[in-house]
Structure 1
Amino acid sequence: MMSLKPTVAQTVLAGVGGGVAFIAGTAVTFRLFGGSSRGSEGVLFDPDTQHPKVIAVWKEIEPLPRIIETPIVIFVGMLLFGIAGAFLYRSVAPAWPPSISRRAWRLGLIVWTATVFAEFMGPFNTLHQPLRISVLAWSFWAVCAFAEAFAIVYLLDRVLTRSTEFARCGKTT
């Protein structure tokens, strides 16, 4: 689908779009359903099913995670990871099939694998989060990862490079 190589600016814009999609995914999954914000319980922080160590680290032991105390730092980081994902996509897209959905699933799998590895080594390994809660968190990460991937692929393959293509066609006629 991508007939022109995206510019650096287009890639950064697509990455920001992907980062925003990732942030929205975390807001819906981890914050709304998971209960990761202060004063909420949710499915990830239910004392009847979650290991007390996880709850203590997220909700009680100071300093609390940065996403709770200074969320802007983490949001900026998520945007930067989105930009990195867009540059990764830009480099591999020519070798991938021309279908937006097939490309997005591939990029999403890469992003998801990274998030699940971090979750596996952090809450599951270090904090002894129960496996069923970890699997639920992994599914939350899938929502975030695939939202980011679809945003990046759609923006680069359909929106940003197309607008450049149309602009270039207008200049040559």
Structure 2
Amino acid sequence: MNLAKNFTATAGPINWRRLAIAAPAAAALNMTLLFLLFMNPLSQRIIFDESGAGQSPKLVAVWTEIEPVPSLASLAPALIVTPLIYSFVFALLHPAIPGKSGLHKGVVFGLILWGLIAVFFELFTPSGLFGEPAHLLAYELSLWLAALVAVGAVLGAMYRASEEPQSA
């Protein structure tokens, strides 16, 4: 089967009005959840513990010593722009995403995002470039999983394709 033909058969029309509401909500929730999950005092102690948890000194130095030190302002563009892009992808692929309800489709999409975004990032940067130990990588991946599934669920609950009924 021709891939382009299959794609156009499964991708439906985008409900731009619903996407205009759902995408900014997903972006705001994404930034808020990731900030709260990663930047809370408990996560900070776990992630940056060089002695007890065995965190890579290189990773700690990047976040705390090497200028410019990352800040919310420097990270905000990625935390806002990325969800806007994946919200569009969600709307484009909505009919082809497994699930009967919007919420279920959103959870499935959140799992897909986790596999494509978080796993790549964590394996490439913290693990590959900074030598982060596997147990801390697993902890961070669990935080990503919680955030991206929650964002996907909200996106799925808010977005409706043009022909779908408005009930959840």
Give the TM interval when normalised to the shorter protein.
0.7 to 0.9
Partners of 2:63 and 2:78 in 1: how far apart?
19
Which runs of structure 2 are paired with 1:2-81 in the superposition (5 Å)? 6-32=14-40, 33-35=42-44, 42-48=45-51, 49=53, 50-65=55-70, 68=71, 71-81=72-82
Partners of 1:102 and 1:142 in 2: how far apart?
15
Q: Which amino acid aligns with 1:18?
A: A
Moved more, 99-108 or 133-142: 99-108
Matched residue of 1:61: which SS? coil
Q: Which amino acid aligns with 2:60?
A: I
Kindly, what percent of the aligned residue pairs are identical?
21
1:171 maps to which residue?
A: none
Which runs of structure 2 are paired with 1:96-115 in the superposition (5 Å)? 96=97, 97-113=99-115, 114-115=117-118
2:7 maps to which residue?
A: none
**Please, what is the CA RMSD of the aligned residues?**
2.3
Q: Which runs of 5+ in 1 are unaligned?
A: 36-41, 166-173
Partners of 1:21 and 1:5 in 2: how far apart?
25
Structure 1 consecutive aligned stretches of length 4 or more whose deviation exceeds 4 Å: none
Q: Tell me if 1:117 matches 2:125.
A: no
Partners of 1:73 and 1:124 in 2: how far apart?
21
Matched residue of 2:131: which SS? coil
Number of positions where the alignment pairs a residue of Structure 1 with one of Structure 2: 149
Partners of 1:54 and 1:7 in 2: how far apart?
42
Q: Tell me if 1:133 matches 2:136.
A: yes
Q: TM-score, normalising length from structure 2?
A: 0.78
- Structure 1 residue 73: Cα displacement: 4.5
Render the CA deviation track for 1:86-120: whole Å, top value 9, x for unaligned: 11111111123322343122210121121221111
Q: Is the 8 A contact 1:11 1:83 kept in 2?
A: no
